[in-house]
Amino acid sequence: MHSEIAAGGIYGLLSRRRGHVFEESQIAGTTIFVVKAYLPVNEPFDFTADLRPNIGGQALSQCVFDHWQVLPGDPLDAGTKPNRAVIETRKRKGLKESVSTLDNYLDKLVDQLETRQTKSIFPSV
């Protein structure tokens, strides 16, 4: 919810965070507007903190999860939005930025399968 005066700051912040307004309505008899917008899931962090200085405390925000949407592009291609999302997530979780290739895991899987097959052929007595 926001007053008519705060609209520019709200729309500017939503735009900078790749948001998309899908509904705006005015509460009858007031100068208060309700704006509904979609924000990418990694953008709402600190949204309220960024909103205050942009609109001088004339708006309230509430974030609610609505839906999933696939990011276009390959997360393994450097510089794509999915790649940046993967890198940011891995950093936040304390993992290496680079994503391991499938070859990293295949040897381990093959070894485990061979071990299981050997155990089933020659069960321990």
CATH of residue 22: 3.30.70.240
Residue 18's domain comprises 2-68
Between 36 and 48, residue with greater pLDDT = 36
Model-wide pTM > 0.85: no
Report the number of distinct structural domains present in the chain: 2
**CB-based contact 45:58 (threshold 8 Å):** no
Co-location of 98 and 46 in the same domain: no
pLDDT category at 123 given cuts 50, 70, 90 is: low
For the chain, the C-alpha Rg in angstroms (whole number) is 24
80 has a pLDDT exceeding 60: yes
Same domain, 14 and 63: yes
Mean of the per-residue pLDDT values of the chain = 81
Task: Judge contact between 14 and 60, C-beta under 8 A.
Answer: no
Asked if the structure places residue 79 within a domain, the reply is yes
Going by C-beta distance under 8 Å and a sequence separation of 6 or more, which residues neighbour residue 54?
9, 10, 12, 13
Let me know whether 46 and 101 are in one domain. Answer: no
